Amino acid sequence: MKTETFEDKIANAKGIIEKLMRQDILLEDSVKLYEDGLKTIKEAQDMLEDAKAKITIIEQNNIKAKE
C-alpha cells in the first residue's frame, strides 16, 4: 500500500471541500466528509511539522559543522 504524500492529502482535502460545497449533499454525508476532511488536514499538518523539524535539525547540524 502506497503512503499518501503531503500533496496527496492536500488534493484530497480540496476534493472534500468541493463535495461539501454541493447543494445536493445529504446532512449525514456532509458530517462524514467534514470529519474525513479534518482528519486529512491534521495528517497533512503533522507531515508539515515533521518536515519543519527535519529542516531545523539539518540547519543546526550545518551550523555546528561550520564552527
Output the pTM of the full model.
0.82
For each of the chain's 67 residues, which pLDDT tens digit applies?
A: 778 999 999 999 999 999 999 999 999 999 999 999 999 999 999 999 999 999 999 999 988 888 7
Contact predicate 37/14, CB 8 Å: no
| CA 44 – CA 41 distance, rounded (Å) | 5
Contact predicate 3/23, CB 8 Å: no
